[in-house]
């Protein structure tokens, strides 16, 4: 059974004391709410949700002193909590227990009050324009309803319904605050920052696609590029490469201040158990994108937004929430999808597809793929502490194109050199090879393609020279 935090114990005692001082037979939710206003954690949540604590305290206190006369008793007995009071505490305990935490805080109890919809306590909070979603959003993600009050860490007692974890207590507005966290920080990845940190590999051989993307982004309307191509051809890499070029200043002046945010659909959907949770999050992201100068939203696998967040019997999903912003040009969006999903989802939603400019991303030729691999070679050499020969790089492309048919270049060639480098970690350090050649590449290809190693060779003449011997082994007569 989770224990009550020290602050919550003090608040519960204060609620009963408030009722006893007024000779009330019962301690109600209004007594509890009045006590929670003085609780550090609950007050921080209410303050972040733009609640005027002084006004709320005056309203609740006036209600208790003027509207609860029927609770006054002439007997000198301790006040007892009402059934609603007990339900709120039990609900908070159950939520905390189901999340695996060990302590119930005032913030948990505050959220539980909203379930008592017929109570004056819940009404007073709603009168302050505070909702259960506002409280949970701040507790779990540090996203405040009031501008400038967001936190980088969740306050202690994060609600389990949003998967919150224990963190530091919220800071007051005064003094220096940590870096603010908003919806873009919570649900998006800043690709510009990722590029500045050197976590994005260089983009090679996609000049025409990048130039077309820049041209579309510079349009006045319908300035939303949509990459369409087979899995593994490098659609996501183009968006990341654009962010890298923006950071390096290798773009037209109109995009010098652009910032690319990659939407994390998994985080956006996580914990959205109640109707309206997903829509509120996405609306907040869109609003902050509109207010962020030069912001560009990147949605990988954009076909997943069609139906994302939809509830049974309703048509509301992410695509319908994005359409108004896309059509008005208030935000710019880059999407990526495959030909299969484009035909399956986009072609059925003409209103959505007409807001995008389709950019075909074809599989690179073997020659282009070799150039791409040469550009990526230093990064894999540094990571695996090996050296790849020029012949090995060429073989990784040619042999993967010949023997691995369920994937596309350059993705499958990248997998080959990565797997080959990783295979050296399986042998003792003294026996590890410092140089990766064609032989090691051939062995990796055989493993991935599940074919006999002797059938994989970068030397066609060598294969043909032994063809007579191999045929005699299997052909008789």
Helix (H, G, I), strand (E, B) or coil at 272: coil
Q: Which range (76-90, 118-132, 284-298, 303-317) has the least confidence?
A: 303-317
CA atoms within 13 A on the CB side of 349: 20
- In this prediction, residues 443-457 reach a mean pLDDT of 81
Q: Which two tokens stand for residue 204?
A: 């090679």
pLDDT for position 54: 93
| Within-domain flag for 293 | yes
Order of strands across the sheet with 188-190? 188-190, 259-263, 295-299, 332-337, 225-228, 357-360
Q: Answer with the one of 309, 339, 360 that is the final residue of a domain.
A: 360
Residue 177: band (very low, low, confident or very high) from pLDDT cuts 50, 70, 90: very low
Instruction: Give me the domain span that covers residue 217.
Output: 186-360
Residues 387 and 433 reside in one and the same domain? yes
Q: With a cut of 80, say whether residue 406 has pLDDT above it.
A: yes
Question: Among 13-27, 137-151, 251-265, 342-356, which is the least confidently predicted range?
Answer: 137-151
Do 14 and 115 lie in one domain? The reply is: yes
Q: How confident is the model at residue 274, as a pLDDT? A: 63
> What residues form DSSP beta bridges with 297?
261, 333
Cα angle at 453 between 449 and 457, to 5 degrees?
90
116: pLDDT strictly greater than 80: yes
Q: pLDDT tens digits, residue range 318-360?
A: 777 888 888 777 889 999 999 998 988 888 888 888 889 999 9
Residues sharing a CB contact under 8 Å with residue 387, sequence separation 6 or more, in sequence order: 381, 434, 435, 436
In a domain, 394, yes or no: yes
CATH code of the domain in which 443 resides: 1.10.8.60
- Residue among 396, 379, 401 at smallest CA distance from 436: 396
CA-based nearest residue to 110, from 12, 1, 6 = 12
Q: Mean per-residue pLDDT for 184-189?
A: 88
Q: Is 278 inside a domain boundary?
A: yes
pLDDT for 173 equals: 41
Please tell me whether residues 196 and 302 are part of one structural domain: yes
Average of per-residue pLDDT across 159-171: 40
For residues 42-62, one letter each, b for 16 or more C-beta atoms within 10 angstroms of the residue's C-beta and e for the rest, the string is: bbbbbbbbebeeeebeebbee
Residue carrying structure tokens 């389709």: 358
Phi/psi of residue 337, nearest 5 degrees: -160, 170
Residue 227 belongs to a domain? yes
Q: Which residue, of 330, 360, 390, is where some domain finishes? A: 360
Residue 460's pLDDT is 56
Q: Would you state the pLDDT for residue 158? A: 43
Rounded to whole angstroms, the Cα distance separating 33 from 465 reads: 88
Q: Is the per-residue pLDDT at 161 higher than 60?
A: no
Confidence of residue 477 (pLDDT cuts 50, 70, 90): low
Cβ burial, residue 154 (10 Å; 0-12/13-18/19+): buried
Q: Which of the pair, 353 or 83, is modelled with greater confidence?
A: 83
- DSSP H helices in 249-363: 265-269, 277-291, 318-328, 339-344, 350-353
Strands annotated E in 191-258: 225-228
- Say how many domains are in the chain: 3
Do 89 and 10 belong together in one domain?
yes
Q: What tens digit of pLDDT does each residue of 209-259 get? A: 999 999 999 988 889 999 999 998 999 999 999 999 999 998 998 899 999
Residues 38 and 154 in one domain: yes
332 and 400 both lie in a single domain: no
Give the percent of the chain with pLDDT over 90. 47
Q: Is residue 39 part of a domain?
A: yes
Q: How far is CA 1 from the centre of its chain?
A: 32
When pLDDT is averaged across residues 26-45 and rounded to a whole number, the result is 93
pLDDT at 469: 65
Which residue in the block uniquely carries the two structure tokens 């982004």? Answer: 217
Q: What is the widest separation between alpha-carbon atoms in the chain?
A: 115
**Are residues 337 and 346 in contact, defined by beta-carbon separation less than 8 angstroms?**
yes
How much is the mean pLDDT over the chain? 83
Q: List residues bridging with 336 in a β-sheet.
A: 227
- Would you say the C-alpha torsion 328, 334, 338, 341 has a positive or negative sign? negative
113 and 216 co-located in one domain? no
Q: Of 343, 360, 377, which one is at a domain's C-terminal end?
A: 360
* pLDDT tens, residue by residue, 48-70: 888 999 999 999 999 999 988 88
**Residues 121 and 244 placed together within one structural domain of the fold:** no
Cβ-Cβ contacts under 8 Å for 344 (sequence gap 6 or more): 303
Would you state the pLDDT for residue 438?
A: 92
Residue 260, SS3 per DSSP: strand
Question: What is the distance, to the nearest Å, from the Cα of residue 471 to the centroid of all Cα atoms in its chain?
Answer: 56
Q: Confidence class of residue 468 from pLDDT cuts 50, 70 and 90?
A: low
Query: Do residues 382 and 427 both lie within one domain?
Result: yes
Mean per-residue pLDDT, 146-154:
48
* CB-based contacts of 421, cutoff 8 Å, min separation 6: 380, 383, 384, 386, 388, 436
446 lies in some domain:
yes
Helix, strand, coil percentages, rounded to 5, for the chain: 55, 10, 35
State whether 354 and 381 are in the same domain: no
Q: What angle in degrees, to the nearest 10, is found between the helix axes of 29-36 and 6-21?
A: 130
Q: Are residues 343 and 402 in the same domain?
A: no
Q: Are residues 355 and 426 in the same domain?
A: no
Q: What is the mean predicted confidence (pLDDT) over 65-77?
A: 84
Written as six digits, the tokens of 160 are 């389990």
According to DSSP, residue 63 is labeled H
pLDDT tens-digit map of 93-107: 988 887 777 889 999
247-304 per-position pLDDT tens digit:
999 899 889 999 999 998 888 877 766 667 777 888 888 889 988 989 999 999 888 8
What are the DSSP E strand ranges found in 22-105?
A: 26-27, 80-81, 103-104
């Amino acid at each position: 059974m989770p224990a009550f935090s020290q602050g919550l114990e003090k608040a519960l005692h204060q609620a009963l004391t408030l009722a006893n001082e007024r000779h009330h037979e019962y301690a109600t939710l209004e007594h509890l709410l009045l006590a929670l206003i003085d609780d550090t954690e609950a007050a921080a949540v209410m303050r972040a949700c733009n609640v005027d604590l002084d006004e709320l305290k005056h309203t609740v206190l006036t209600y208790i002193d003027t509207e609860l006369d029927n609770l006054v008793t002439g007997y000198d007995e301790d006040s007892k909590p009402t059934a609603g009071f007990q339900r709120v505490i039990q609900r908070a305990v159950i939520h905390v227990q189901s999340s695996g935490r060990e302590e119930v805080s005032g913030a948990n109890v505050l959220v539980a009050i909203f379930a008592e919809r017929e109570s004056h306590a819940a009404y007073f909070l709603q009168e302050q324009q505070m909702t259960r979603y506002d409280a949970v959003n701040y507790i779990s993600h540090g996203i405040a309803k009031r501008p400038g009050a967001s936190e980088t860490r969740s306050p202690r007692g994060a609600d389990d319904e949003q998967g919150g974890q224990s963190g530091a207590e919220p800071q007051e507005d005064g003094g220096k605050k940590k870096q603010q966290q908003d919806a873009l920080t919570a649900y998006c990845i800043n690709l510009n920052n990722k590029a500045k940190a050197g976590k994005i590999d260089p983009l090679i051989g996609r000049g025409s696609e990048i130039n077309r993307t820049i041209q579309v982004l510079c349009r006045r309307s319908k300035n939303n590029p949509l990459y369409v191509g087979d899995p593994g051809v490098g659609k996501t890499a183009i968006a990341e490469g654009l962010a890298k070029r923006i950071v390096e200043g290798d773009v037209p002046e109109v995009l010098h201040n652009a910032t690319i945010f990659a939407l994390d659909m998994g985080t956006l959907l996580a914990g959205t158990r109640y109707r309206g949770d997903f829509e509120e999050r996405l609306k907040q992201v869109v609003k902050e994108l509109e207010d962020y100068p030069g912001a560009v939203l990147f949605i990988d696998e954009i076909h997943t937004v069609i139906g994302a967040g939809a509830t049974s019997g309703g048509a509301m999903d992410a695509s319908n929430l994005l359409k108004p912003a896309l059509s008005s040009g208030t935000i710019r969006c880059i999407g990526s999808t495959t030909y299969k999903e484009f035909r399956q989802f986009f072609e059925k939603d003409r209103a959505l597809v007409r807001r995008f400019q389709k950019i075909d991303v074809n599989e690179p030729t073997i020659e282009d793929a070799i150039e791409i691999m040469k550009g990526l070679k230093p990064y894999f050499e540094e990571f695996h502490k090996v050296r790849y020969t020029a012949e090995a790089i060429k073989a990784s492309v040619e042999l993967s194109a010949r023997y691995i048919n369920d994937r596309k270049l350059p993705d499958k060639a990248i997998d080959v050199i990565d797997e080959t480098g990783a295979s050296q970690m399986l042998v003792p350090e003294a026996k590890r090879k410092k140089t990766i050649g064609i032989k090691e590449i051939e062995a990796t290809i055989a493993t991935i393609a599940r074919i006999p190693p002797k059938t994989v060779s970068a030397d066609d003449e060598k294969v043909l020279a032994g063809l007579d011997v191999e045929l005699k082994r299997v052909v008789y007569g």
